[in-house]
Amino acid sequence: MKEKAQEIRRTSIGAQRNPQSQEAILQAAEEILVEGGLGAFSIEAVARRARAGKPTIYRWWPSKTMLLLDVYHRQKYVDIAPDTGSVEGDIFQVLHGLLNFWRTESGGAVFRSVIAEAQTNPDACHALGAYMADRYRQGGEIFRRAQKRGEAADWIDPGQAMELIASFAWHRLLTDRLDIKEDELRRVARQFANSVKA
């Protein structure tokens, strides 16, 4: 008897990820987070919804946090190091893109879940810290360019400067204040830009 499509269990192809299965798992994980939050999220729940085996999920994502971060990263399209020609313009573009993404897509809910998991799980905290360190390094390109243009002081640490900007965005996310007017956000960018001037 032919099985119905929704009853067909997705199969793994070993250590190599099956793109169809990977997409189904990430989609299922995102849907669970958006619908029920972190409390509803588990590998078991993801496996059921994606019609995938738990061993497959654990083989590709050794921890729940790694799966959470992949779900978030899958959505993320914000350019972390835009080049507008000025450090103020770059900072504005980063903040505008990130806050808008968190506000209008499910990325905000997913990233809050990642942060929440990191508060009680040391492995999650380490994974999030490593992920953010890489993001700060990438985003620091804004300030490295500014230093070459003479817009930012030589003593500025590009990664730390990016971390300060991210801290503003995180605070807005965690206090549900993502809806900020453009002129206010431009003032924020100007304040950050003035703080790194040569």
Assigned domain for 25 exists: yes
Do residues 33 and 85 share a domain? no
> Count of CB atoms within 10 A of residue 52's CB?
23
Do residues 49 and 95 share a domain? no
What domain count does the chain have? 2
**What count of Cα atoms within 13 Å lies in the side-chain half-sphere of residue 106?**
19
Do residues 97 and 184 share a domain? yes
Does pLDDT of 123 surpass 90?
Answer: no
Does pLDDT of 10 surpass 50?
Answer: no
Assigned domain for 69 exists: no
CATH code (residue 162): 1.10.357.10
Two tokens, residue 165: 């900007």
Do residues 135 and 179 share a domain? yes
Total-model pTM: 0.80
Assigned domain for 96 exists: yes
Do residues 46 and 82 share a domain? no
Q: Three-class SS string for the chain?
A: CCCCHHHCCCCCECCECCHHHHHHHHHHHHHHHHHHCHHHCCHHHHHHHHCCCHHHHHHHCCCHHHHHHHHHHHHCCCCCCCCCCCHHHHHHHHHHHHHHHHHHCCHHHHHHHHHHHHHHCHHHHHHHHHHHHHHHHHHCHHHHHHHHHCCCCCCCCHHHHHHHHHHHHHHHHHCCCCCCCHHHHHHHHHHHHHHCCC
Do residues 96 and 21 share a domain? no
Tell me which residue range forms the domain holding 32. Answer: 5-61
Do residues 47 and 93 share a domain? no
Assigned domain for 13 exists: yes
Do residues 113 and 166 share a domain? yes
Do residues 91 and 143 share a domain? yes
Does pLDDT of 137 surpass 50?
Answer: yes
- Which residues touch 89 (CB under 8 Å, ≥6 apart)? 82, 189
Do residues 137 and 162 share a domain? yes
Assigned domain for 184 exists: yes
Do residues 49 and 130 share a domain? no
Assigned domain for 39 exists: yes
- Per-residue pLDDT tens digits for 22-78: 999 999 999 998 888 888 999 999 999 999 999 999 999 988 888 988 988 887 767
- Residue 16's pLDDT is what? 60
From 61, 82, 107, give the residue that closes a domain: 61
Averaged pLDDT for residues 148-168 = 97
CATH code (residue 49): 1.10.10.60
